[in-house]
Structure 1
Amino acid sequence: MTELPDEIFRKWIHSFEEDTNGITVYRPVEYDFPLARGRGGIEFRPDGVFISWEIGPTDATRGINGHWKIEGSGRVSVSFEESTRPSTVIEILQCDSEVLKVRKLPESS
């Protein structure tokens, strides 16, 4: 994968019920999720912006701004504007209009 698929450019919500063996599963915002107290998510934008949506103290989400860049076949490096937040490498395992499956890798992978 030398480019990201068009389907990835949206806000994805964590479907934690589907996570398995180190694979994190996200679904589109429109997905009919089971009831849960709060859900984080991620967002890829075509201009290289990455947003980590985290659950705040009142269950409202807040965006943590960062940037993504392609690191190789199916791998994306994500760095954040907050200097205290470490950068990470994400392996994209599956991406289509219904699901995004990723695995976080050590940065040296």
Structure 2
Amino acid sequence: MVLRSFIVISVLLLLRYGNAQHIEKDQLLGVWYHAVEEQTDDSISIFRPEGYELPRARGREKMMFNPDNSYIYYQIAPADGYLELKGDFKLDKENNELDISYIKDQKKHKKKYKIVQLNTDILRLKLIDTFRNK
């Protein structure tokens, strides 16, 4: 009876909180392309690593995370090129949260994400909070 209760509670906790994976910074480093065609839930953004075969797209946003904690967000520009928005990032390994800040239009933008999933093939981010200085 005790073993059965333990198994039921373990399964319920796993379903509620998911796998207790702690993200390491090295897993995040590199260039990640927005795979908008894979998104089924508007609250979760899906990114694929550089080199992953994605369908052709007219433009595709991407993010670059560097070892020195610098960050570049490549936003699609009006003339089909990229607008490079430079900033930095901070990884909270205990809570699997990612804080990103960058400058756009002379204003500092900050975003906080929950890392839902991260492995060599996929990065899933859920936006928690956003802030912009006026």
Q: Fold conserved (TM > 0.5)?
A: yes
Choose from 74, 99, 109 the match for 2:122.
Answer: 99
**1:4 deviation in Å?**
2.9
Contact map agreement 1:51 1:66 (CA 8 A) in 2: yes
Choose from 43, 55, 63 the match for 1:34.
Answer: 55
TM-score, with structure 2 as normaliser: 0.70
Verify: 1:76 aligned to 2:98, yes or no. Answer: yes
Partner of 2:3: none
| CA deviations over 1:37-56 (Å, ceiling 9, x no partner) | 10001111121111111111
More helix by share: 2
Contact map agreement 1:54 1:62 (CA 8 A) in 2: yes
Runs of 4 or more consecutive aligned structure 1 residues displaced over 3 Å after TM superposition: none
Residue identity over aligned pairs, in percent, reads 26
| CA deviations over 1:64-99 (Å, ceiling 9, x no partner) | 101111345101111114442421101111111111
Q: Distance in 1 between matches of 2:28 and 2:114?
A: 13
Q: Distance in 1 between matches of 2:40 and 2:67?
A: 28
**C-alpha RMSD over aligned residues:** 2.0
Choose from 53, 56, 64 the match for 1:43.
Answer: 64
Secondary structure of 2:37's counterpart equals helix
Contact map agreement 1:66 1:79 (CA 8 A) in 2: yes
How many aligned residue pairs are there?
107
Verify: 1:25 aligned to 2:46, yes or no. Answer: yes
Q: Distance in 1 between matches of 2:98 and 2:73?
A: 14
TM-score, with structure 1 as normaliser: 0.85
Partner of 1:4: 24
Residues 70 and 31 of structure 1: CA distance in aligned 2, closer, same or farther (over 3 Å): closer
Structure 1, gaps ≥5 residues long: none
Could you tell me which amino acid in structure 1 is paired with residue 30 of structure 2?
A: R
**1:5 deviation in Å?**
4.1
Secondary structure of 1:80's counterpart equals strand
